[in-house]
Amino acid sequence: MYLDDYHHQLAIFSVPEDWVDEEGEDTVPRHDTGLHHMAFEVGDQQAFDDAVAYIRSRPDIEVVWGPLRLDESNGLWGGHEGIYFLDPDGNRIEVFHDSDMFPGSRPAWRDGQEIEC
């Protein structure tokens, strides 16, 4: 569901049965419900680089993936650069920038049917 190209995006999806992480390991549970991660977009490459430097400078922050570019070249989707880490409660957080936009494509669902926005 997207309200517009940038605001209040919610992605609900299932993980493919054959998905593995960048190290070739199967680390994502299948057929579970719950929160996978929360993502926060920063404005540009410099802001992203600053965020990565800050995250890496903190010994109490566990980086679980990245930074890396998520795009078709590596079989991932999203078209952006991101880093994933755990907050103090163990929630997975992503900081990203330069996300692909999908102008005019704003799928929304009601009663199991896609509707126009």
Q: Is residue 12 part of a domain?
A: no
Indicate if the pLDDT at residue 46 is higher than 70.
Answer: yes
What are the backbone dihedrals phi and psi of residue 56, each rounded to the nearest 5 degrees, phi first? -70, -25
Indicate if the pLDDT at residue 92 is higher than 60.
Answer: yes
Sheet holding 38-41, edge to edge: 38-41, 92-97, 80-86, 62-70
Q: Sign of the C-alpha dihedral, residues 94, 98, 27, 9? A: positive
Q: Is residue 26 part of a domain?
A: no
Q: Give how many domains the chain has, as a whole number.
A: 1
- Predicted pLDDT of residue 15: 65
Q: Is residue 3 part of a domain?
A: no
CATH code: domain of residue 75: 3.10.180.10
Distance CA 71, CA 28 (A): 19
Indicate if the pLDDT at residue 1 is higher than 80.
Answer: no
Distance CA 2, CA 20 (A): 27
pTM of the predicted model as reported, rounded to 2 decimal places: 0.62
Q: Is residue 24 part of a domain?
A: no
